Structure 1
Amino acid sequence: MSQTAIKPRTKAETRTERPRLHKVILHNDDYTPREFVVAVLKAEFGMTEDHAHNVMITAHRLGSCVVGVFAKDIAETKATRATDAGREMGFPLLFTTEPED
């Protein structure tokens, strides 16, 4: 009997997992002017006037509203820039991120 090495013919398949998405959330406050919130939503998230107004009203009525869902880095950058825009004007405008379920 000869000794032969047997190699399996199956190859391991590598799968790239999609990055986990994060929600950007707008939190309502009683001090930031509505027009300013709409302007920030338009500038940072590329929303139309109507869409930005609807998001702002939803956050006002419910206390918070999901603005959009992005990759983690993008979500954190957009939330930080939008929050900083409010801070620069002296408003307590707050955007946060959390993982999407």
Structure 2
Amino acid sequence: MTAVEFENLDEVLDEKYERLQEPPLYRVIIHNDHYTTMEFVVEILEDVFHFDQVQAEQIMMMVHRQGAGFCGEYERQIAESKVAEVSRRAAAAGFPLRCTMEKV
């Protein structure tokens, strides 16, 4: 191989590396409202986000006191599915609980 071929190989490898980078993450956040019960928020945190009871209660209190609570960072499709699951379950239970995602 000549030096030119090696230079080209480096460009190809760099290009492939760029395509193989980690996908962006999205932060999922639950927002406080005046109607959703604390118990329901804890249930969501345990069932959808798989927190244990102590962690779920701590996050719920953060949501209650600060207006929002961090639930985790996920790839886009997983974050979207968790936001949709929270919204679906909240609507089914008659609560206006809001859950959003934002790019990290």
State TM-score, norm by structure 1.
0.89
What amino acid sits opposite 1:24 in the alignment? V
Q: CA deviation at 1:9?
A: 2.8
* Corresponding residue for residue 48 of structure 2: 44
* Corresponding residue for residue 61 of structure 1: 65
* 1:19 aligned to which of 14, 23, 47: 23
Aligned to 2:4, what secondary structure does the other structure show?
coil
CA RMSD of aligned residues (A): 1.2
Point out where structure 1 has 5 or more consecutive residues left out of the alignment. Answer: 1-5
User: How many residues align structurally?
Assistant: 95
The answer to whether the aligner puts 1:9 opposite 2:2 as a matched pair is no
Q: CA deviation at 1:83?
A: 1.6
Structure with higher Rg: it is 1
Tell me how far apart the structure 2 counterparts of residues 93 and 43 of structure 1 sit (CA, whole Å): 15
The answer to whether the aligner puts 1:73 opposite 2:77 as a matched pair is yes
Tell me how far apart the structure 2 counterparts of residues 83 and 27 of structure 1 sit (CA, whole Å): 12
Identity of aligned residues (%): 33
Tell me how far apart the structure 2 counterparts of residues 38 and 55 of structure 1 sit (CA, whole Å): 8
Point out where structure 2 has 5 or more consecutive residues left out of the alignment. Answer: none
What amino acid sits opposite 2:5 in the alignment? R
**Which structure shows the bigger proportion of residues in helix conformation?**
2
Please list the CA deviations of residues 22-71 of structure 1 after superposition, one character each: whole Å capped at 9, or x if unmatched: 00000001100101110111000111001001111001111111110000
Question: Once superposed, which parts of structure 1, at least 4 consecutive aligned residues long, lie more than 3 Å away?
Answer: none
